[in-house]
């Protein structure tokens, strides 16, 4: 049995795991530190994955989930909103940081309830499970289309010649660019990758450049080292207010 958490797993990696260990039971868990860690879990099944989306499950007893978009509650299924969490397990606040606490905790969304603003975008699917989309600050808009860099990374990772991939935004001369860092599974060129990706993705989602790398670096927090990837490629992070391409 494997319990996942901390980072969203690409569907391609999950299928690779099951290909090597078809009887492996896999549980997906979700929960920020501010909510005393795990507040959902769901068992994943290969025959239940839809469109490469990985659910995070439903809230544990005593935990409340709310999706909010532009200050309004989101009740419709398959509609994205920022996830807010309430319940007895919620933190009281950050130690000696009242201003930070005030930004993170809200009491004006649901009467009588304190909620933690996670910064995570999610939606509720037809089965009632919540599905993590991406961090609110890692969802970009190009040509009026909202693009999750996590979902885009998963799509690039699903290409036949790709072992794994990570898509990041970067400053493309004042415009908002997307770069796909790809660990190839076989001998493939960046032109090949662009051609394959163009057959899978609409033009608005197609990365502006593809970079081949030997591995995706991990930082001290055991997460993708985005700064190192961009630095080694000679790229600057996207600036706030960058013009969409």
pLDDT confidence bin for 175, thresholds 50/70/90: confident
Q: Say whether pLDDT at 50 is over 80.
A: no
Domain boundaries, the chain: 2-136, 143-244
Q: Which residues contact 209 (CB under 8 A, 6 or more apart)?
A: 177, 179, 180, 190
Residue 48 falls in which region: left (phi positive, over 0), alpha (psi -120 to 50) or beta: alpha
Higher pLDDT, 243 or 235: 235
Q: What is the pTM of this model?
A: 0.70
- Report pLDDT for 140: 84
What is the pLDDT averaged over residues 125-142? 87
- Does domain 2-136 fall under CATH 3.40.50.2020? My reply is no
Tell me the pLDDT tens digit for each residue of 193-206: 999 999 999 998 99
For the chain, the average pLDDT equals 90
Cα–Cα dist 5/27, whole Å = 9
Q: Say whether pLDDT at 190 is over 70.
A: yes
- Report pLDDT for 243: 57
- Within this chain, domains 2-136 and 143-244 share the same CATH topology: no
pLDDT confidence bin for 221, thresholds 50/70/90: confident
Q: Which CATH class is domain 143-244?
A: alpha beta
Nearest residue to 2 via CA among 10, 11, 65, 21? 21
- Report pLDDT for 217: 93
What is the pLDDT averaged over residues 169-189? 92
Classified as helix, coil or strand, 16 is helix
237 DSSP 8-state letter: B
Cα–Cα dist 66/220, whole Å = 32
Helix, strand, coil percentages in the chain from 3-state DSSP, rounded to 5: 25, 40, 35
Higher pLDDT, 175 or 50: 175
Residue 156 falls in which region: left (phi positive, over 0), alpha (psi -120 to 50) or beta: alpha
pLDDT confidence bin for 241, thresholds 50/70/90: low
Start-to-end CA distance of the chain, whole Å, equals: 43
Nearest residue to 230 via CA among 188, 181, 192? 181
């Amino acid at each position: 049995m494997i319990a996942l958490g901390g980072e969203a797993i690409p569907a391609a990696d999950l299928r690779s795991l099951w290909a090597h260990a078809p009887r492996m039971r896999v549980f997906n868990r979700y929960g920020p530190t501010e909510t005393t860690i795990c507040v959902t879990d769901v068992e994943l099944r290969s025959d239940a994955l839809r469109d490469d989306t990985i659910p995070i499950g439903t809230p544990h007893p005593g935990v409340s989930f709310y999706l909010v978009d532009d200050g309004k509650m989101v009740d419709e299924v398959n509609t994205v909103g920022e996830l807010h969490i309430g319940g007895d397990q919620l933190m009281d606040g950050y130690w000696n940081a009242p201003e930070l606490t005030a930004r993170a905790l809200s009491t004006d969304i649901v009467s009588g309830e304190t909620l933690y603003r996670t910064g995570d975008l999610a939606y509720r699917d037809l089965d009632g499970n919540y599905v993590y989309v991406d961090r609110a600050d890692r969802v970009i808009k190009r040509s009026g289309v909202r693009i999750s860099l996590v979902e885009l990374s998963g799509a690039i990772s699903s290409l036949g010649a790709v072992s794994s991939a990570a898509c990041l935004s970067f400053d493309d001369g004042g415009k908002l660019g997307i770069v796909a860092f790809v660990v190839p599974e076989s001998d493939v060129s960046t032109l090949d990758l662009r051609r394959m990706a163009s057959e899978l993705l609409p033009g608005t989602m197609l990365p502006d450049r593809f970079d081949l790398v030997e591995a995706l670096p991990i930082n001290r927090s055991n997460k993708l080292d985005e700064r190192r990837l961009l630095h080694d490629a000679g790229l600057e992070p996207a600036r706030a207010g960058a013009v969409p391409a």
